[in-house]
Structures are given as C-alpha cells and as structure tokens.
Amino acid sequence: MATIETNDQDFDRDVLEASKVKPVVVDWWAPWCGPCKMISEPLERLSESLSDKVSIVKCNIDDNPQKPTFYGVRGIPLLLIFKDGEVISQQVGAVSEDKLRQWIEDNLAE
C-alpha cells in the first residue's frame, strides 16, 4: 500500500480514526523542502514493506495550514506516529531509511 495524501478536511478520518485500527505515521512536508524530498522515497518503500503494521500518510503544510498549526509543526520534515487517536512519538528531520524503519518498529512494539 502506497502512502496516502490527506488534508485538513480528511485528517480526522485518515489519521485519528484510522489510528484506532493500526498506527499511522504522518509525514508533514512541503514541495520546497529538500530534506522532505530525501525521505519521500524511503517512506514509500516503508509504506509497502510495513503495510500490515502501519499506514503512512502525507500532509502538505502549504496547502493545509490548520492541522499542522494544531499539532505545533514548526519544522519539516516532521513525522508523528498516531495510535488510538493520540501522538505517541515524533521524528524531526531527514534520517536514513534504516533509522526510519527502526523508529517505526520500536514504536509499534510499545
């Protein structure tokens, strides 16, 4: 399953409600953000390989200002893991695919 795009209007359904079924990683990003581009392909691959354990959802902060403001997004890329409608972990900045995988898997084990 590929990453899913969400927006301010669908965020509650795509993230909060979905995280009650399985955890959701939200990638806050923007098209002008170089580090965001660096983690885009690794997140796509992780979305495929971890699809049975987690969903990965992307939200463009330029097009959707409400939810990033609500969640206090001040720098991107910012990844948040939601479980049962709540943020359980965050990862700031671009890191390697292996580190992203490890971060996700460590948080799924909790």
| Catalytic machinery residues | 33, 36
> What count of other Cβ atoms lies within 10 Å of the Cβ of residue 86?
9
Residues in CB range of 54: below 8 A, 6 or more apart: 22, 23, 24, 25, 81, 104, 108
Cα 85 to chain centroid distance, Å, stands at 13
